[in-house]
């Protein structure tokens, strides 16, 4: 297979799953695309197995790639204004204050402005900087491609705006290099974190992480912080399981890591919001909710398990073994203790109440109080029953599913009746404002929740 050496043009499988770009023995440019653990296929063979997308990769020297302990990926899309300043700031920090050998990889996912020429110029000027360009968009796709080809024991990424204080980088990667942990994340939601951002983004972030905790029973605190690191052996086992190619990519990777019993280390960070952020919040939130729904379905089908134990490498400790019957190093999900169920029931109830309130507020104007209540309860009850089945009572798979859903549907009539009675009381009292009605309906739902918990526990855990 011939490769243009400057710039390097290679062909990657379109799903970019578990592939690596191997430097040749005679140059600093990649000479072959190989599946992990196999010999390099021919161009024709690679094209026969999957559609290909063109990628350009300008690698650092072979010696630098071989000795790097950490590779830091900076995924970018149309960042010509910020790219050079941010990469030079990161480069200077690492050169002056980071004690381990390192690499920086700029991963350009199909920018349409001057991002790629700037990335190529940085590669030419700074020997520790690599540049990778993909012809398809997607932050997850860019991270997958860069991490798959990395020779470093630990791979990391950070957002190009450098919102996170770089002093958190060494605490982030140290537990991974020692073998203590498998994944490390920065968190803006710890008590000791210092975070500067507007109330809108704060509310969105906390709501999203609450949804993850209630719907997927996640234990990590901040899925969205653009400051993460993973051990190489862990990432190569997890990448084939990750389906998303966009913004949900790192949330999915974290959920799958936790699902398989891998240890996740959290580092409180100092973080300053980027006022120039161009993330489409509505579209990203919609895609994230779709991703959460997809993960719930996967886990209900008992999927998402690492299929093999990775080989032990000299630079990191081996991963724990996970199996469909349980997860290594993680508590069993089927605990039936009353205290734990009450805590999880309350968590799911909080998320359901927020969902109900948002739906009622949206429906009240065009539909009126009664119809808005019925519609909001119908939607939130479905989500509530699914979350209680999966999270509160740890029920998965097909066994008893019809009985569980039938019981949940029947029990939904109770809060409906109480809420309609509450609307009657509100009408007599002359309460017509959205907030006033929401207070009445929230109290009504709380009154019904005691009976609902007992009924769900009898149906799903009995």
Most confident of 4-8, 9-13, 145-149, 205-209: 145-149
Whole-angstrom distance, CA of residue 150 vs CA of residue 173:
15
The distance from CA 4 to its chain's CA centroid, rounded to whole angstroms, is 35
What mean pLDDT comes out for the span 235-249? Answer: 95
DSSP state string for 415-444 = HHHHHHHHHHHHHHHT--SHHHHHHHHHHH
- Provide the pLDDT for residue 182: 97
pLDDT of amino acid 160: 96
Specify the range with the lowest mean pLDDT, choosing from 26-40, 75-89, 94-108, 205-219.
Answer: 26-40
Host H or E run for residue 194: strand 194-196
Q: Is the pLDDT of residue 366 over 80?
A: yes
Q: What is the mean pLDDT of residues 204-209?
A: 84
DSSP letter string, 208-253: HHHHHHHHS----S-S--SEEEEEHHHHHHHGGG----STTHHHHH
- Residue 181's pLDDT band, with cuts at 50, 70 and 90, is very high
Q: Of the residues 108, 182, 244, 250, which is catalytic?
A: 250
Q: How confident is the model at residue 29 (pLDDT cuts 50, 70, 90)?
A: very low
pLDDT > 90? residue 158:
yes
pLDDT of residue 277: 64
Beta strand pairing call for 154-158 and 70-76: parallel
Taking only the tens place, the pLDDT of each residue in 295-330 is 988 888 889 999 754 444 444 443 333 333 333 333
- Residue holding tokens 């790639």? 65
User: Mapping DSSP to helix (H, G, I), strand (E, B) and coil, where does residue 361 land?
Assistant: helix
First to last CA, the chain: 62
Of the listed ranges 19-33, 108-122, 137-151, 290-304, the least confidently predicted one is: 19-33
103 and 128 in contact (C-beta within 8 Å)? yes
As a whole number of angstroms, the distance between CA 103 and CA 18 comes to: 20
Residue 454: how many other CB atoms lie within 10 Å: 11
- Cα separation, 441 vs 416, in Å, equals 10
Cα 264 from Cα 186, distance rounded (Å): 11
- Checking if the pLDDT of 168 tops 70, the result is yes
Question: How open is the CA angle 442-447-450, to the nearest 5 degrees?
Answer: 125
- Classify residue 197 by burial, with Cβ atoms within 10 Å: 0-12, 13-18, 19+: middle
The torsion defined by the Cα of 443, 446, 448 and 454, in degrees rounded to 10, comes to: -170
Q: Is 250 a catalytic residue?
A: yes
Q: Please indicate whether residue 258 or residue 12 has the higher confidence score (pLDDT).
A: 258
Percent of the chain with pLDDT over 90: 50
Distance CA 272, CA 165 (A): 8
Whether the model clears a pTM of 0.75, i.e. scores above it, the answer is no
Mean pLDDT of all residues in the chain? Answer: 81
Q: Please report the domains of the chain, with CATH numbers, ordered by start residue.
A: 9-300 (3.90.550.10), 338-461 (no CATH)
Cα atoms in the 13 Å half-sphere on the side-chain side of 179: 9
- Give pLDDT tens digits for 324-359: 333 333 333 344 467 777 777 887 888 888 888 889
**pLDDT tens, position by position, 31-83:** 333 323 333 333 333 333 334 445 799 999 999 999 999 999 999 999 999 99
- How do strand 227-231 and strand 154-158 relate by DSSP bridges? antiparallel
pLDDT at 304: 94
pLDDT at 52: 45
pLDDT for the residue numbered 85: 97
* Angle (CA) 83 174 167, round 5°: 45
As a whole number of angstroms, the distance between CA 5 and CA 11 comes to 14
């Amino acid at each position: 297979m011939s490769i243009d050496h400057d710039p390097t043009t290679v062909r990657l499988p379109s799903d970019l799953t578990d592939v690596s770009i191997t430097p040749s023995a005679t140059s600093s440019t990649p000479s072959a695309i190989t599946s992990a653990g196999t010999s390099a296929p021919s161009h024709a063979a690679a094209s026969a197995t999957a559609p290909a997308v063109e990628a350009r990769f300008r690698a650092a020297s072979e010696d630098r790639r071989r000795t790097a302990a950490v590779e830091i990926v900076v995924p970018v899309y149309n960042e010509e204004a910020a790219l050079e300043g941010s990469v030079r700031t990161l480069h200077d920090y690492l050169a002056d204050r980071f004690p381990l050998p390192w690499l920086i990889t700029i991963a350009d996912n199909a920018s349409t402005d001057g991002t790629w020429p700037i990335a190529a110029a940085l590669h030419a000027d700074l020997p520790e900087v690599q540049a990778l360009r993909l012809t398809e968009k997607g932050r997850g796709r860019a991270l997958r491609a860069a991490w798959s080809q990395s020779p470093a024991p630990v791979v990391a990424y950070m957002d190009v705006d450098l919102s996170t204080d770089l002093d958190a980088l060494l605490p982030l990667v140290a537990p991974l290099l020692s073998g203590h942990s498998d994944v490390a994340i920065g968190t803006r939601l710890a008590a000791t974190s210092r975070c500067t951002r507007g109330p809108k983004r704060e509310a969105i972030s906390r709501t999203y992480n609450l949804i993850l905790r209630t719907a997927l029973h996640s234990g990590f605190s901040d899925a969205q912080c653009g400051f993460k690191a993973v051990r190489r052996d862990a990432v190569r086992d997890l990448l084939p399981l990750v389906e998303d190619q966009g913004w949900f990519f790192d949330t999915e990777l974290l959920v799958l890591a936790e699902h398989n019993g891998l240890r996740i280390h959290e580092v409180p960070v100092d973080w300053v919001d980027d006022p120039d952020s161009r993330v489409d919040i509505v579209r990203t939130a919609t895609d994230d909710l779709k991703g959460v729904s997809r993960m719930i379905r996967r886990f209900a089908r008992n999927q998402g398990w690492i299929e093999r134990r990775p080989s032990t490498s000299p630079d990191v400790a081996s991963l724990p073994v996970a199996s469909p019957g349980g997860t290594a190093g993680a508590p069993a999900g089927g605990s039936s203790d009353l205290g734990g169920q009450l805590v999880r029931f309350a968590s799911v109830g909080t998320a359901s109440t927020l969902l109900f309130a948002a739906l009622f507020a949206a429906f009240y104007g065009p539909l009126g109080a009664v119809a808005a209540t019925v519609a909001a309860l119908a939607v939130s009850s479905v989500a509530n029953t699914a979350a209680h089945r999966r999270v509160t009572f740890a029920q998965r798979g097909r066994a008893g599913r019809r009985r569980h859903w039938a019981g949940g549907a029947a029990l939904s009539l109770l809060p409906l009746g109480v809420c309609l009675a509450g609307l009657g009381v509100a009408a007599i009292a002359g309460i017509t404002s959205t907030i006033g009605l929401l207070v009445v309906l929230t109290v009504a739902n709380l009154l019904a929740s005691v009976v609902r918990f007992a009924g769900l526990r009898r149906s799903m855990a009995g």
